[in-house]
A = this chain, B = another copy of it.
Protein backbone atom coordinates (compact mmCIF):
# COMPACT_ATOMS: atom_id res chain seq x y z
CA UNK A 1 0.00 0.00 0.00
CA UNK A 2 2.93 2.33 0.57
CA UNK A 3 4.32 2.22 -2.96
CA UNK A 4 2.45 3.22 -6.11
CA UNK A 5 1.34 0.50 -8.46
CA UNK A 6 4.05 0.23 -11.13
CA UNK A 7 1.62 0.59 -14.02
CA UNK A 8 0.04 3.76 -12.64
CA UNK A 9 1.32 7.08 -13.92
CA UNK A 10 2.42 9.80 -11.52
CA UNK A 11 -0.87 11.70 -11.58
CA UNK A 12 -3.10 8.75 -10.74
CA UNK A 13 -0.65 7.64 -8.10
CA UNK A 14 -0.90 11.01 -6.43
CA UNK A 15 -4.65 10.85 -6.68
CA UNK A 16 -4.58 7.43 -5.12
CA UNK A 17 -2.51 8.61 -2.20
CA UNK A 18 -4.73 11.61 -1.69
CA UNK A 19 -7.79 9.40 -1.71
CA UNK A 20 -6.27 7.01 0.80
CA UNK A 21 -5.18 9.90 3.00
CA UNK A 22 -8.70 11.28 3.11
CA UNK A 23 -10.32 7.92 3.72
CA UNK A 24 -7.87 7.28 6.49
CA UNK A 25 -8.98 10.55 8.08
CA UNK A 26 -12.51 9.18 8.20
CA UNK A 27 -11.16 6.25 10.19
CA UNK A 28 -9.25 8.54 12.51
CA UNK A 29 -12.35 10.55 13.29
CA UNK A 30 -14.45 7.46 13.84
CA UNK A 31 -12.05 5.68 16.16
CA UNK A 32 -10.91 8.72 18.12
CA UNK A 33 -14.47 9.83 18.72
CA UNK A 34 -15.66 6.32 19.52
CA UNK A 35 -12.97 5.71 22.11
CA UNK A 36 -13.08 9.19 23.56
CA UNK A 37 -16.81 9.05 24.23
CA UNK A 38 -16.65 5.45 25.46
CA UNK A 39 -14.30 6.66 28.15
CA UNK A 40 -17.00 8.92 29.55
CA UNK A 41 -19.87 6.49 29.03
CA UNK A 42 -18.47 4.06 31.57
CA UNK A 43 -18.85 6.53 34.44
CA UNK A 44 -22.21 7.83 33.26
CA UNK A 45 -23.75 4.39 32.85
CA UNK A 46 -23.37 3.75 36.60
CA UNK A 47 -25.68 6.67 37.27
CA UNK A 48 -28.20 5.76 34.60
CA UNK A 49 -27.18 8.75 32.51
CA UNK A 50 -26.38 8.70 28.83
CA UNK A 51 -24.31 10.60 26.35
CA UNK A 52 -26.99 13.22 25.91
CA UNK A 53 -26.79 14.10 29.60
CA UNK A 54 -23.04 14.38 29.39
CA UNK A 55 -23.15 16.74 26.43
CA UNK A 56 -25.59 19.01 28.25
CA UNK A 57 -23.50 18.86 31.42
CA UNK A 58 -20.34 19.70 29.50
CA UNK A 59 -21.68 22.72 27.68
CA UNK A 60 -23.51 24.12 30.68
CA UNK A 61 -20.33 23.70 32.69
CA UNK A 62 -18.33 25.56 30.10
CA UNK A 63 -20.95 28.28 29.70
CA UNK A 64 -22.49 29.09 33.07
CA UNK A 65 -25.66 31.10 32.59
CA UNK A 66 -26.38 29.55 29.21
CA UNK A 67 -29.93 30.11 27.96
CA UNK A 68 -31.81 27.04 26.77
CA UNK A 69 -32.01 28.22 23.17
CA UNK A 70 -28.25 28.54 22.90
CA UNK A 71 -27.74 25.08 24.26
CA UNK A 72 -30.18 23.82 21.64
CA UNK A 73 -28.22 25.45 18.85
CA UNK A 74 -24.96 23.99 20.11
CA UNK A 75 -26.32 20.48 20.44
CA UNK A 76 -28.41 20.76 17.27
CA UNK A 77 -31.35 18.91 18.74
CA UNK A 78 -34.96 19.93 19.30
CA UNK A 79 -36.47 21.47 22.39
CA UNK A 80 -38.41 18.29 23.03
CA UNK A 81 -35.34 16.12 22.98
CA UNK A 82 -33.45 18.42 25.29
CA UNK A 83 -36.50 18.71 27.52
CA UNK A 84 -36.25 15.19 28.81
CA UNK A 85 -32.51 15.30 29.30
CA UNK A 86 -32.66 18.62 31.11
CA UNK A 87 -35.62 17.41 33.16
CA UNK A 88 -33.56 14.55 34.52
CA UNK A 89 -30.60 16.78 35.30
CA UNK A 90 -32.83 19.28 37.10
CA UNK A 91 -34.67 16.58 39.07
CA UNK A 92 -31.45 15.03 40.23
CA UNK A 93 -30.02 18.37 41.18
CA UNK A 94 -27.13 18.53 38.73
CA UNK A 95 -28.36 21.65 36.99
CA UNK A 96 -30.09 24.79 38.24
CA UNK A 97 -32.13 27.41 36.43
CA UNK A 98 -32.33 31.14 37.04
CA UNK A 99 -34.44 33.74 35.24
CA UNK A 100 -32.48 36.04 32.94
CA UNK A 101 -31.72 39.53 34.23
CA UNK A 102 -32.23 41.40 30.98
CA UNK A 103 -34.82 38.98 29.58
CA UNK A 104 -36.89 37.33 32.25
CA UNK A 105 -38.33 34.75 29.86
CA UNK A 106 -34.97 33.06 29.74
CA UNK A 107 -33.96 30.27 32.07
CA UNK A 108 -30.23 30.55 32.46
CA UNK A 109 -28.61 27.19 33.12
CA UNK A 110 -25.81 26.55 35.57
CA UNK A 111 -24.29 23.49 37.18
CA UNK A 112 -24.95 22.94 40.86
CA UNK A 113 -22.08 21.77 43.04
CA UNK A 114 -23.23 18.20 42.49
CA UNK A 115 -23.29 18.86 38.76
CA UNK A 116 -19.78 20.26 38.80
CA UNK A 117 -18.57 17.30 40.82
CA UNK A 118 -20.09 14.85 38.38
CA UNK A 119 -18.74 16.69 35.39
CA UNK A 120 -15.27 16.73 36.89
CA UNK A 121 -15.47 13.01 37.55
CA UNK A 122 -16.35 12.24 33.96
CA UNK A 123 -13.86 14.77 32.71
CA UNK A 124 -11.03 13.20 34.68
CA UNK A 125 -11.20 10.01 32.62
CA UNK A 126 -11.29 11.82 29.30
CA UNK A 127 -8.52 14.07 30.49
CA UNK A 128 -6.20 11.12 31.07
CA UNK A 129 -6.69 9.98 27.51
CA UNK A 130 -6.18 13.44 26.05
CA UNK A 131 -3.19 14.35 28.18
CA UNK A 132 -1.48 11.10 27.18
CA UNK A 133 -2.21 11.77 23.52
CA UNK A 134 -0.99 15.37 23.75
CA UNK A 135 2.17 14.42 25.60
CA UNK A 136 3.04 11.67 23.15
CA UNK A 137 2.39 13.82 20.13
CA UNK A 138 4.14 16.95 21.37
CA UNK A 139 3.13 20.64 21.24
CA UNK A 140 3.55 21.23 17.47
CA UNK A 141 1.37 18.21 16.74
CA UNK A 142 -1.25 19.53 19.14
CA UNK A 143 -1.29 22.81 17.29
CA UNK A 144 -1.72 20.93 14.02
CA UNK A 145 -4.52 18.90 15.51
CA UNK A 146 -6.26 22.07 16.60
CA UNK A 147 -5.92 23.64 13.17
CA UNK A 148 -7.28 20.65 11.29
CA UNK A 149 -10.17 20.10 13.69
CA UNK A 150 -11.14 23.74 13.38
CA UNK A 151 -11.06 23.38 9.64
CA UNK A 152 -13.41 20.42 9.70
CA UNK A 153 -16.11 22.15 11.69
CA UNK A 154 -18.47 24.76 10.28
CA UNK A 155 -17.68 28.46 10.26
CA UNK A 156 -20.36 28.90 12.91
CA UNK A 157 -18.70 26.44 15.29
CA UNK A 158 -15.32 28.11 14.76
CA UNK A 159 -16.88 31.45 15.63
CA UNK A 160 -18.39 29.94 18.76
CA UNK A 161 -15.01 28.66 19.87
CA UNK A 162 -13.28 31.90 19.02
CA UNK A 163 -15.46 33.99 21.25
CA UNK A 164 -14.73 31.55 24.06
CA UNK A 165 -18.10 29.85 24.18
CA UNK A 166 -21.76 30.70 23.89
CA UNK A 167 -22.45 34.42 23.67
CA UNK A 168 -20.45 35.83 26.53
CA UNK A 169 -22.98 38.56 27.32
CA UNK A 170 -25.23 36.00 29.00
CA UNK A 171 -22.72 35.60 31.72
CA UNK A 172 -22.28 39.26 32.57
Let me know if A140 is at the binding interface, CB within 8 A: yes
Stretch in A82-90, A95-103, A110-118, A122-130 touching the partner: A122-130
Q: State the CA gap A140–B140 with chains docked (Å).
A: 9
Q: Are A31 and B151 in contact (CB under 8 A)?
A: no
Let me know if A5 is at the binding interface, CB within 8 A: no
Interface SS of A by simple majority: helix
Question: Within the oligomer, what is the number of copies of this chain?
Answer: 2
Please report the total number of A residues contacting B with Cβ < 8 Å: 53
Most buried by B among A21, A58, A133, A160: A133
Binding site for B on A (CB under 8 A): 1, 21-36, 38, 55, 58, 62, 76, 123, 126-127, 129-134, 136-138, 140-154, 157, 160-161, 164
